[in-house]
A and B are shown apart, each in its own frame.
Chain A
Amino acid sequence: MRIALLVALKDLRQRLRDRSALLVSVVAPLGLAVIFSQLLAGATGFDATYVVSDTDGGSLARILREDVIGAFADGETIKVVDVATEAEARAAVEGGTADAAFLIPPGFSMAIGAGQAATLEVVGAKNEGLSTEIARALAQRFGDGVVAVQLSVATAVDLASAPPTEADIARIAGIAGGAPPPVALVDSTTELRQLTLATYFSASMAILFLFFSAQIGLVSLFEERRQGTLARILAGPIRPWTVLAGKTIGSFALGLFAMTVLVVATTLLIGARWGPPLGVVLMVVTAITAAIGISTLVVSFARTEEAAGAASAAVAITLGILGGTFSPTAQAPEVMTTLSLLTPHGWFMRGLGEMAGPAGTAADCLGAAAVLLVMGLVTGGLGIVRARKLVRAR
């Protein structure tokens, strides 16, 4: 073990002195995580401004404005602005100051109270499809509610034989419009457990480039063979497996160093929220194990330094794509989500996702961590058995 640590320390000294290793392990993933998270933060954010022209002024129009549209306005993501006329509302949409307009015509409340058809017009801006869709959905919700109230009232009239007044209808509609939905749906998978953009890119770049760090140790065996130092080491009083062990320990230490720097730096620089520290440590350690295991297996098939480097890079990028490091698999077809589970990248992101949200704990990532550990041990075991030929007497 002493020899393995000697080899590992020597390797670390070389790698830290070699700026390209630091570039690949730390600078590149950190830089890309910062760039992607900043670039795409604007592209994926949502906000909308709606204008309402209430030229009716009736009680039902007020309910629509205050209880339905107003309920969604939070002053930040969705803003609602009142204008006096239909023309002003249209101008706001045309001029780009509003994403959609609700046009409540004169006689709107009266028509509904009389059980007649009423028109509520929604005008959407050309390039604001999502904002317009939300506006339409709000209008539709109100319309559905009105129909339900009209049916209820009609039924009540049939039973009581006493026609309701407009005030009765407004009161009933108000109750219907302001009532909470009978069934509340909380989607914890897509909302609470989704990584923030900064966390997603920090984690995805970290695991992607971890594979490049992980391969450095074993690939350096080829370098040592080329420069004759491997033969010199093996001529000494050592057991050959200790060289492999040293290379693996060196890779692990480099991976751990890189991941630690990335977790801390992305947390401080771009506000990544990796999750509970214990869980993050578990995910990082098992991810490094998986990365080294797979890299060892890949490199064990190579005959030259160049082939080892090329094969490792190809595998790292392929697994990265399949594992959702370039785009979240949650937004990809089902088959991609399934394929991502064949990769350590997919499980790493999944493990961090499980811990995301205010109620997340380290225990939530145990499943993903176990999968990563098994991946690492199985592939690493096979790789070490195959890689023994690299340090064996010929």
Chain B
Amino acid sequence: MSTQPDDAVSPVADSPAGAAPAPGPVVEPAPRPGPAAGASVVLAVRDLRKRYGDIEAVKGVSFEIRQGETYGLLGPNGAGKTTTISMICGLLERDGGSVTLDGTPIDVGAVAAKAGIGYVPQELAIYPDLTARENLAFFGRLYGLGGETLKARIEEVLELIGLNERGNDRTDRYSGGMQRRLNIGIGLLHQPRLLLLDEPTVGVDPQSRNAILESIAALGKAGMAILYTTHYMEEAERLCDRIAIIDGGEIRAEGTQKELVALIGQKDEVRLALTGDLHSAARAAGAVRGVTSAAAKGDIVEVIATDAGRVLPRLLEAVEGAGAHVRGVELVTPDLESVFLHLTGRALRDAE
């Protein structure tokens, strides 16, 4: 099944000369809500490739993240998210492509440049027999922090992740959610230019997940560039300024959520539960500007519109003007799940 939408659009507008364009359909750059206008590119990934024997795990992945931008890699397990992030932070040798942080190449051998990266691995990466403060102190010193600066940063991070009361407890006495928060806190300690978060909420209870997502959102607002990989659609929608749909080691589409939805050409649907003359109501609804079609089905009028949120007040006014009484309204907007389904032929959950 083809995953290429017919209305797929232009290549990446800001790719430098000679750089390979991002594979798959990419929407035209739109004003980004996260980064400030003219924000500098923090991370530039070009044509990243990795092969394990006969399996090509990453097939020419390219993207950029600007200062203050939260960029999501959304895809199922095995899509190549972790492999990509591992190559970015120098844990994996890459077979091709380049990675630069603030213009400085990042490679396996790069040492100084890696100080600008904060890495939060998918699995917990903390010492269970050390306290949270000891964990933070060790990794802080690894990144060159020391003295009063280190002490102050440890306290700040413990406050941020809500562990200041338990900072002197061994981490093997923490709940899973607390360990996850510390796992993220370690990545933040040295105030990196770029934070790599590899599925940080896997296996976390809903309450802790919410706290984690709020912390990450705050970091993005504070100006940190963030690369966030996830297979949870809701997290990508909530956190990310731009999202890349990745599957089978390649980026299938990239853009804001709105751009991605627009990419697949799917429109919003409004279901109106009415009493009265449904056919008159349907005709009145069809005449509203922005409505593509409207049809009466039983005691429901189904309306297809380009922007249901904006159309809805006029729509309700029109049907009530036609003599119908509105008993209920259901708004169905296409989401990233629909985009993933459209691009890959599989539901995101099915693909895991």
Say whether A associates with B: yes
Interface of A toward B, CB cutoff 8 Å: 3, 6, 10, 13-14, 17-18, 227-229, 231-239, 393-394
Nearest B residue to A240 via CB reads B108
Nearest B residue to A239 via CB reads B111
Let me know if B111 and A237 touch, CB within 8 A: yes
CA distance A165 to B139 in the complex (A): 100
Let me know if A13 and B130 touch, CB within 8 A: yes
Let me know if B91 and A237 touch, CB within 8 A: no
- Check B114 for interface membership: any CB of A closer than 8 A: yes
- List 21 A–B pairs whose Cβ atoms lie within 8 Å, in order of A's numbering: A3-B142, A6-B142, A10-B127, A13-B130, A18-B129, A227-B124, A227-B126, A228-B123, A228-B124, A228-B125, A229-B126, A229-B127, A231-B125, A232-B119, A232-B121, A234-B90, A235-B89, A238-B111, A238-B142, A239-B111, A394-B93
Nearest B residue to A14 via CB reads B129
The 7 A-B pairs with the shortest beta carbon distances in the complex, nearest first, are A228-B125, A237-B115, A235-B119, A232-B125, A393-B108, A235-B89, A228-B123
Let me know if A235 and B117 touch, CB within 8 A: yes
Let me know if A13 and B91 touch, CB within 8 A: no
CA distance A238 to B143 in the complex (A): 8
B27 CB to closest chain A CB, in angstroms? 32
CA distance A193 to B115 in the complex (A): 58
- A18-B129, A233-B139 known, 20 other contacts, Cβ within 8 Å: A6-B138, A14-B127, A17-B129, A227-B124, A227-B127, A228-B121, A228-B124, A229-B126, A231-B125, A232-B121, A232-B139, A235-B89, A235-B114, A235-B117, A237-B112, A237-B143, A239-B111, A393-B91, A393-B92, A393-B93
B99 CB to closest chain A CB, in angstroms? 13
CA distance A184 to B123 in the complex (A): 76
Contact with A along B86-117 (1 / 0, CB 8 A): 10011111000000000000001001111101
Please tell me which one of the listed residues A14, A236, A394 contacts residue B130 in the complex, with CB atoms under 8 A apart: A14
Chain B positions within 8 Å of A236 at CB level: 114-115, 119, 139, 142-143
Chain B positions within 8 Å of A232 at CB level: 119, 121, 125, 139, 186
Interface of B toward A, CB cutoff 8 Å: 86, 89-93, 108, 111-115, 117, 119, 121, 123-130, 134, 138-139, 141-144, 186
Nearest B residue to A237 via CB reads B115
Let me know if A234 and B91 touch, CB within 8 A: yes
- A-B contact number at CB 8 A: 72
CA distance A365 to B134 in the complex (A): 43
Majority SS of interface residues in chain B? loop
Chain A positions within 8 Å of B123 at CB level: 228
Let me know if A6 and B127 touch, CB within 8 A: no
CA distance A316 to B113 in the complex (A): 42
Let me know if A231 and B121 touch, CB within 8 A: yes
Chain A positions within 8 Å of B129 at CB level: 14, 17-18
CA distance A237 to B106 in the complex (A): 11
A302 CB to closest chain B CB, in angstroms? 21
Please tell me which one of the listed residues A6, A18, A228, A239 contacts residue B141 in the complex, with CB atoms under 8 A apart: A6
B203 CB to closest chain A CB, in angstroms? 13
Let me know if B92 and A394 touch, CB within 8 A: yes
B101 CB to closest chain A CB, in angstroms? 11
Chain A positions within 8 Å of B113 at CB level: 237
Chain B positions within 8 Å of A229 at CB level: 125-127
Nearest B residue to A226 via CB reads B123
Chain B positions within 8 Å of A393 at CB level: 90-93, 108
Interface-central residue, A3, A10, A13, by most chain B CB under 10 Å: A10
CA distance A368 to B89 in the complex (A): 47
Task: Check A237/B124 contact, CB under 8 A, given A14-B129, A17-B129.
Answer: no
Let me know if A235 and B130 touch, CB within 8 A: no
CA distance A98 to B127 in the complex (A): 67
CA distance A228 to B120 in the complex (A): 10
Chain B positions within 8 Å of A18 at CB level: 129
Task: Check A235/B124 contact, CB under 8 A, given A6-B141, A10-B138, A13-B134.
Answer: no
Interface-central residue, B111, B124, B142, B186, by most chain A CB under 10 Å: B142
Chain A positions within 8 Å of B143 at CB level: 236-237
Chain A positions within 8 Å of B186 at CB level: 232
Chain A positions within 8 Å of B128 at CB level: 227
Please tell me which one of the listed residues B91, B138, B139, B141 contacts residue A231 in the complex, with CB atoms under 8 A apart: B91
CA distance A233 to B89 in the complex (A): 11
CA distance A115 to B144 in the complex (A): 98
Chain A positions within 8 Å of B91 at CB level: 231, 234-235, 393-394
CA distance A17 to B121 in the complex (A): 26
CA distance A228 to B122 in the complex (A): 9
CA distance A183 to B113 in the complex (A): 80
Nearest A residue to B112 via CB reads A237
A61 CB to closest chain B CB, in angstroms? 78
Chain A positions within 8 Å of B144 at CB level: 237
B125 CB to closest chain A CB, in angstroms? 3
Chain A positions within 8 Å of B117 at CB level: 235
Chain B positions within 8 Å of A14 at CB level: 127, 129-130
CA distance A134 to B108 in the complex (A): 76
CA distance A227 to B130 in the complex (A): 13
Let me know if B141 and A227 touch, CB within 8 A: no
Nearest B residue to A234 via CB reads B91
Task: Check A235/B90 contact, CB under 8 A, given A13-B134, A393-B108.
Answer: yes
CA distance A18 to B172 in the complex (A): 13
Chain A positions within 8 Å of B125 at CB level: 227-229, 231-232
